[in-house]
Amino acid sequence: MKTRFTTDTKLESEIAYFENINLKIESGDIIDSFKLAFKTYGKLNADKTNAILVCHALTGDQYVAGNNPITGREGWWSRMVGPNKPIDTNKFFVICSNVLGGCAGSTGPKELQNGSDVAYGGNFPSITIKDMVKAQSLLIESLNIEKLFSVIGGSMGAMQALQWAIDFPDKILNIIHIAGALKHSAQNIAFHEVGRQAIMSDPIWKNGKYFENNEVPERGLSVARMIAHITYLSENAMHRKFGRKLQSRDIISFGFDADFQVESYLRYQGKSFVERFDANSYLYLTRAMDYFDHDETFRKNIEFSHNPNNHLKYLIVSFTSDWLFPTIESKMIVNQLNSLSREVSFLEIDTDKGHDSFLLEEPQLDDVIKGFLTNNFAKIDE
Active site residues: 155, 322, 355
CB of 315 vs another protein, minimal distance in Å: 7
Sign of CA dihedral 227, 26, 36, 179: positive
β-pair partners for 318: 348
β-pair partners for 7: 14
When binding is defined by CB under 8 A, the residue of 328, 340, 360, 380 that contacts another protein is 340
Residues 173 and 311 sit within 8 Å (Cβ to Cβ): yes
DSSP per residue, 167-216:
H-GGGEEEEEEES--SB--HHHHHHHHHHHHHHHTSTTTGGGTGGGGT--
Residue partners of 356: CB distance under 8 A and separation at least 6: 232, 233
382, with CB counted inside 10 A (0-12, 13-18, 19+), is exposed
| By the rule CB under 8 A, 173 interacts with another protein | no
Going by C-alpha positions, the residue among 370, 324, 299, 356 that lies closest to residue 154 is 356
CB of 41 vs another protein, minimal distance in Å: 22
The count of C-alpha atoms lying within 13 angstroms of the C-alpha of 209, restricted to the half-sphere facing its C-beta, is: 5
Between residues 80 and 289, which has the closer beta carbon with respect to another protein?
A: 80
DSSP per residue, 49-75:
--EEEEE--TT--S--SSEETTTTEE-
Distance CA 332, CA 369 (A): 21
Return the amino acid letter for 235.
Answer: E
| By the rule CB under 8 A, 367 interacts with another protein | yes
DSSP per residue, 93-136:
EEEEEPPTT-SSSSSSTTSBPTTSSSB-GGGSPP--HHHHHHHH
Between residues 105 and 180, which has the closer beta carbon with respect to another protein?
A: 180
Sign of CA dihedral 204, 274, 256, 228: positive
| By the rule CB under 8 A, 83 interacts with another protein | no
| By the rule CB under 8 A, 306 interacts with another protein | no
Site for another protein in 310-339 (CB under 8 A): 310, 313, 315, 331, 334-336, 338-339
CB of 294 vs another protein, minimal distance in Å: 17
DSSP per residue, 228-259:
HHHHHS-HHHHHHHTTTPBSS-SS--SSSS--
Between residues 264 and 320, which has the closer beta carbon with respect to another protein?
A: 320
| By the rule CB under 8 A, 370 interacts with another protein | yes
| By the rule CB under 8 A, 305 interacts with another protein | no
| By the rule CB under 8 A, 347 interacts with another protein | yes
Determine the size of the site formed for another protein (CB under 8 A). 31
| By the rule CB under 8 A, 307 interacts with another protein | no
Between residues 129 and 175, which has the closer beta carbon with respect to another protein?
A: 175
CB of 252 vs another protein, minimal distance in Å: 42
CB of 84 vs another protein, minimal distance in Å: 16
When binding is defined by CB under 8 A, the residue of 350, 360, 361, 381 that contacts another protein is 350
| By the rule CB under 8 A, 374 interacts with another protein | yes
Whole-angstrom CA distances from 342 to 123, 165, 181, 302, 311 are: 42, 12, 18, 10, 8
How many other CB atoms are there within 10 angstroms of residue 1's CB atom?
8
| By the rule CB under 8 A, 46 interacts with another protein | no
Between residues 225 and 313, which has the closer beta carbon with respect to another protein?
A: 313
When binding is defined by CB under 8 A, the residue of 133, 274, 344, 359 that contacts another protein is 344
Residue 334, classed as helix, strand or coil, is: helix
When binding is defined by CB under 8 A, the residue of 83, 203, 243, 371 that contacts another protein is 371
When binding is defined by CB under 8 A, the residue of 193, 364, 380, 381 that contacts another protein is 364
| By the rule CB under 8 A, 302 interacts with another protein | no
| By the rule CB under 8 A, 92 interacts with another protein | no
Considering only the stretches 15-23, 194-202, 205-213, 343-351, report the one whose residues sit in contact with another protein under the rule CB under 8 A: 343-351
Residues of this chain that bind another protein (CB under 8 A): 308, 310, 313, 315, 331, 334-336, 338-341, 343-350, 364, 367-368, 370-372, 374-376, 378-379
